[in-house]
């Protein structure tokens, strides 16, 4: 199969040349060059670098996934593992897996810093803090589903759920920390999947008053009617039943109004809610770390380029200017003077429970672009501290054009195809031996292709 022809290559080259020429015509190179600073002197620091990995396999209506997160640096290494299966649901399953992996990364970063020795302690994360602050659920249907759950169980019970869950997470973190100190690993870092049935019975099922096939009948809290008004469909139903407006208002006030909603939607939304609360808690704890930095290898930020009115990503812009006007790919860094605020869609009724997340979501994140070595690539660095303050601590761990602990963490966290396949085969064999009928859940559609 021929994937690339000379015509394709010429077309791609023409596109990039046009973009390059447009950038050179419009760029104010003096502004960029005057703010490109020499790298500061390195300062001694102890460090843990954190990275995670996931492997997901779709079977017959079920997904089986394996997660890992590792902290590697100045002390002994720590690692978290997690394996789970869930009924596949497009959109929901992928978000849960992604949030759980990042929850583990945040958790091990926070706990590793507690066990790190040294006067200046540094935690390095792979990726971006801005991405963590706008992590899913950000899609409108997810936010709406969480709002439905909040209205369904009631505002007071919703807050009580969060308070109770956070208390359990505090104890859970102490237990995982003890496990890491004793053994260096934990295979039970996540709590949401463990407590979901208990919380569903306590907070959700008390509102369900009947089942109709795959639907559930629930009572509508008067609070949601007061806040959002009476739905037209509900008014039409009252009229069909021959009820007066006074009858309708009395039923609403006494919370005797019943509606039928999709059972799977309610359960999925509740799962997303608990997973998201655990994620926000982990991020809130990580943001307590005094010296915290994120380093991104791949990103397409145009914050700087947009300020200058140029349609190109920031790293390419800086590369073009340095190469063209300095005649060399000089090491150094460029940073924004003020923290950069990133729009987020975390509802107030959630973010108010996590003061550090709220603080940096509102204040913004310090962002800079750094070339650690002449001729190497430019990386994005984000931090809760000013870039010029955190950069000396990072540079202590530079080897060549990158940060060595982050490279080791990436290699240590990676779940290889061979490892995942062996674990999956072992699980499938166990399930089939435990109950032959479980075979229906373990068929693998891509088997003939491998």
Instruction: Please check whether residue 420 lies inside any domain of the structure.
Output: no
Per-residue pLDDT tens over the stretch 31-70:
777 788 999 999 999 999 999 999 998 887 788 999 999 9
Does residue 302 share a domain with residue 196?
yes
**Are 71 and 49 a contacting pair, CB within 8 Å?**
yes
Between 393 and 149, whose confidence is greater?
393
Q: Please tell me what DSSP assigns to residue 242.
A: T
What average pLDDT does the structure give for the chain?
A: 83
In this prediction, residue 240 carries a pLDDT of: 61
Does residue 223 share a domain with residue 182?
no
Per-residue pLDDT tens over the stretch 165-180:
999 999 999 999 999 9
Does residue 339 share a domain with residue 270?
yes
CB atoms within 10 A of CB 95: 21
Cα(218)–Cα(203) distance, rounded to whole angstroms? Answer: 13
Q: How confident is the model at residue 90 (pLDDT cuts 50, 70, 90)?
A: low
Q: Strand pairing partners for 295?
A: 126, 381
Task: List, in order, residues 6 or more apart from 68 with CB less than 8 Å away.
Answer: 52, 53, 54, 79, 80, 81, 82, 104, 413, 414, 415
Instruction: Please check whether residue 435 lies inside any domain of the structure.
Output: no
In this prediction, residue 363 carries a pLDDT of: 93
Task: List, in order, residues 6 or more apart from 407 with CB less than 8 Å away.
Answer: 399
Asked if the model's pLDDT at residue 226 lies above 50, the reply is no
**Are 304 and 317 a contacting pair, CB within 8 Å?**
yes
Cα(154)–Cα(162) distance, rounded to whole angstroms? Answer: 12
In this prediction, residue 449 carries a pLDDT of: 40
Residue from 422, 6, 352, 375 nearest 159 by CA: 352
319 is in an annotated binding site: no
Instruction: Please check whether residue 398 lies inside any domain of the structure.
Output: yes
Q: How confident is the model at residue 211 (pLDDT cuts 50, 70, 90)?
A: very low
* Mean pLDDT on 107-127: 95
Asked if the model's pLDDT at residue 137 lies above 70, the reply is no
In this prediction, residue 429 carries a pLDDT of: 87
Tokens of 99: 């949030």
**Are 207 and 218 a contacting pair, CB within 8 Å?**
yes
Does residue 139 share a domain with residue 79?
yes
Does residue 69 share a domain with residue 122?
yes
Cα(149)–Cα(273) distance, rounded to whole angstroms? Answer: 8
Tokens of 252: 């609403």
Q: Which of 262, 291, 325 is the endpoint of a domain?
A: 262
Instruction: Please check whether residue 442 lies inside any domain of the structure.
Output: no
Angle between helices 232-240 and 245-253 (to 10 degrees): 120
What distance, in Å, lies between the first and last C-alpha atoms of the chain?
A: 20
Instruction: Please check whether residue 324 lies inside any domain of the structure.
Output: yes
Asked if the model's pLDDT at residue 11 lies above 80, the reply is yes
Task: List, in order, residues 6 or more apart from 304 with CB less than 8 Å away.
Answer: 314, 317, 318, 334, 336, 369
Asked if the model's pLDDT at residue 73 lies above 90, the reply is yes
Q: Please tell me what DSSP assigns to residue 201.
A: I
- The phi-psi region of residue 160 (left if phi > 0; otherwise alpha if psi is between -120 and 50; otherwise beta) is alpha
The residue assigned the tokens 């497009």 is: 90
Asked if the model's pLDDT at residue 138 lies above 60, the reply is no
Sequence-ordered alpha helix ranges (H) in 342-416: 348-351, 355-363, 387-395, 404-413
Does residue 232 share a domain with residue 295?
no
Does residue 247 share a domain with residue 151?
no
Which residue range forms the structural domain that includes residue 231? 215-262
In this prediction, residue 232 carries a pLDDT of: 44
Does residue 388 share a domain with residue 309?
yes
In this prediction, residue 382 carries a pLDDT of: 96
Asked if the model's pLDDT at residue 219 lies above 80, the reply is no
Does residue 173 share a domain with residue 255?
no
Instruction: Please check whether residue 126 lies inside any domain of the structure.
Output: yes
In this prediction, residue 322 carries a pLDDT of: 82
Instruction: Please check whether residue 158 lies inside any domain of the structure.
Output: yes
Between 90 and 327, whose confidence is greater?
327
Percent of the chain with pLDDT over 70: 82
In this prediction, residue 220 carries a pLDDT of: 52
Per-residue pLDDT tens over the stretch 280-304:
999 999 999 999 999 998 777 777 7
Per-residue pLDDT tens over the stretch 231-274:
444 545 555 666 555 655 565 555 555 555 556 667 778 888 89
Between 401 and 267, whose confidence is greater?
401
Q: How confident is the model at residue 153 (pLDDT cuts 50, 70, 90)?
A: confident
Does residue 142 share a domain with residue 187?
yes
51 is in an annotated binding site: yes
Tokens of 31: 């502004």
Number of domains in the chain: 2
**Are 291 and 393 a contacting pair, CB within 8 Å?**
yes
CA 9 to chain CA mean position, Å = 37
CA 276 to chain CA mean position, Å = 9
Between 450 and 169, whose confidence is greater?
169
How far CA 312 is from CA of 248, 309, 389, in Å, comes to 58, 9, 28
Does residue 229 share a domain with residue 160?
no
Does residue 92 share a domain with residue 54?
yes
How far CA 386 is from CA of 198, 336, 366, 390, in Å, comes to 43, 9, 6, 6
In this prediction, residue 439 carries a pLDDT of: 75
Instruction: Please check whether residue 438 lies inside any domain of the structure.
Output: no
């Amino acid at each position: 199969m021929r994937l690339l022809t000379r015509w394709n290559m010429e077309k791609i080259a023409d596109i990039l040349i046009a973009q390059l020429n447009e950038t050179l015509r419009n760029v104010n190179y003096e502004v960029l060059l005057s703010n490109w600073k020499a790298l500061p002197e390195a300062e001694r620091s102890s460090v843990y670098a954190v990275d995670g990995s996931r492997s997901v396999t779709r079977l017959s209506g079920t997904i089986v996934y394996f997660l890992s997160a590792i902290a590697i640096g100045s002390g002994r290494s720590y690692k978290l593992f997690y394996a789970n299966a869930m009924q596949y649901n497009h959109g929901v399953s992928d978000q849960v897996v992604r949030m759980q992996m990042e929850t583990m990364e945040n958790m091990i970063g926070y706990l590793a810093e507690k066990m790190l020795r040294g006067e200046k302690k540094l935690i390095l994360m792979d990726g971006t803090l801005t991405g963590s602050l706008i992590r899913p659920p950000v899609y409108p249907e997810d936010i709406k589903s969480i709002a439905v759950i909040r209205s369904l169980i009631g505002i007071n019970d919703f807050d009580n759920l969060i308070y109770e869950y956070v208390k359990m997470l505090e104890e859970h973190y102490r237990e995982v920390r003890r496990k890491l100190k004793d053994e260096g690993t934990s295979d039970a870092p996540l709590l949401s999947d463990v407590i979901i049935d208990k919380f569903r019975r306590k907070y959700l099922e008390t509102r369900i008053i009947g089942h109709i096939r795959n639907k559930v009948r629930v009572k509508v809290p008067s609070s949601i009617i007061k806040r959002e008004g009476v739905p037209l469909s509900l008014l039409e139903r009252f009229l069909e039943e021959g009820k007066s407006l006074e009858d309708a208002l009395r039923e609403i006030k006494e919370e005797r109004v019943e509606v039928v909603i999709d059972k799977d939607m309610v359960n999925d939304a509740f799962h997303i809610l608990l997973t998201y609360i655990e994620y926000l808690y982990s991020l809130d704890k990580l943001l307590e770390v005094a010296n915290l930095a994120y380093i991104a290898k791949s990103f397409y930020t145009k914050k700087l380029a947009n300020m200058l009115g140029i349609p190109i990503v920031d790293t390419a812009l800086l590369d073009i200017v340095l190469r063209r006007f300095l005649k060399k790919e000089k090491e150094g860094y460029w940073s924004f003077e003020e923290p950069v605020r990133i729009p987020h869609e975390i509802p107030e009724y959630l973010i108010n429970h996590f003061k550090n997340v709220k603080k940096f979501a509102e204040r913004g994140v310090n962002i800079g672009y750094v070339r650690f070595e002449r001729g190497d690539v430019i990386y994005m660095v984000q931090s809760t501290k000013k870039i010029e303050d955190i950069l000396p601590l990072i540079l202590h761990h530079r080897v060549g054009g990158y940060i060595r602990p982050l490279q080791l963490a990436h290699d240590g966290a990676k779940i290889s195809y061979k490892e995942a396949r062996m674990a999956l085969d072992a699980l499938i064999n166990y399930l089939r031996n435990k109950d032959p009928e479980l075979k229906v859940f373990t068929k693998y559609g891509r088997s003939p292709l491998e």
